[in-house]
Structure 1
Amino acid sequence: MKLPSPGLSPFVHFLASLRRSPSRALLAVQFLALLLYPMAHDSPAGQIATSVISVGVLGVAVWMVHKSPQAGWFAALLAVLGVGLWSAYNADDGAWLGVVGSTFYAAAYFYAAYSLISYMMEDEHTSTDELWAAAATFMLLVEAYAWLFMGTQLLQPGAFTAIAADGSQPVRSWVELLFLSGTNFSATGLSDIVPLTPFSRMLCIIEQWNGVMYLAIVVARLAGMLKSKSA
């Protein structure tokens, strides 16, 4: 007896569920990006691929902002400026272009995170989509600080890497700085990459404070509203 083919219905159902839950769609794209970033590592083509993946994540984040109470056009403007200036830096290798481009990239991620927090805090109950939004916002903030680290590294070449014995100045990759940002924001302190300049150290302290306050205020409030709803 021939068994029926499962077909594409489960996959189509999954895509439909992402459309109904934009926060889950954003988190799924972020998770996919985390799996793809290491594959696009340590090569010129890999750098371009990394930028493309980041643009994809940022594009979904901007789409998500339209679902929040905040202005979606402002998020789109920050994203366009970040992508354009960072692309110009990759083409021209002008450090100032990279600093400004990474700053606008970070601003776009910060604004998207702010928009999702506004979406989560606008009512007195916790929906399933808001729980997905809490996880997605965590990653948006991690990615925002990773872009600030990228700009800091261009502004201060010794910010995260000591000068090598041969006098060269190794540059930390996007994956390494994203790892630093994730461990720093979550306050796990597992990173083997450390800030070496006063400015980069102060930036890490600000990120640690931001991470603690996000968990203590936003996530705790969502958990409290979820408990009161179930009661």
Structure 2
Amino acid sequence: MKFILYFILIPALLPVFLILRYVYLLDKNEREPLNFVLKVVIYGAFFSIPCAAAERFLISMISMYYDPATIQIAWMENTVGVALVEEFSKWLVLMLIVWKNRNFDYRYDGIVYAVSASLGFAALENILYVVSYGTGVSIGRAIFAIPGHATFGVFMGYWLSRAKTFWLDGKTGRMKFCKLLALGIPMLIHGAYDFLLSEQVAALGYQYVFYIYVILLDFFAWRIIKHEFRTDRPL
């Protein structure tokens, strides 16, 4: 049991805990109930379970229409075959568990809950990676993969709060559009992230673009977090 704890769970879950703690503690106005935040994390992990099967199905469908050596299939596989499935699972958690919950009553809350769902997804994914490939993968995933999922959640939460604001104001059309952006923008960001790691991009010699992309993405996500908690207000 101690072996499992030290060599699997700690490397897999420590970066998840640190990022979630940072985002959670920034919520100064009306901090979210910790038990509900953890519930969202758990649901984020639970909803990730069917993603692998859905991804395999979509990728098999995409491969029927694109040449496997082309850059186009890399884009389609990573955006539609992977990012859409994974971001939809997180978005669905927010729609089913968070959207109408009374605790979602401040603008910054959208980021707290979207990042929580994203980190729940990342936690289970990270445990599976560490179990399958050993703790050697934990450093790379702690630097890139887990912060990546959190970053996608920041953009999702930003638009989710806008959607909730429009819903409370009775502006249904704008609410639906922002809900769509809460799914679509993280999907495109996530898809581009995975696309830049693809073999097709590496074959072209542009893999360095990934590191530039990650730096810019993290910078803008950090700016959004800072802006949202500094200008936080009731919905």
- Give the TM-score, by structure 1 length: 0.34
Larger Rg: 1
Q: Which has the higher contact order (CA 8 A, sep 6+)?
A: 2
The structure that is helix-richer by fraction is 2
- Give the TM-score, by structure 2 length: 0.33
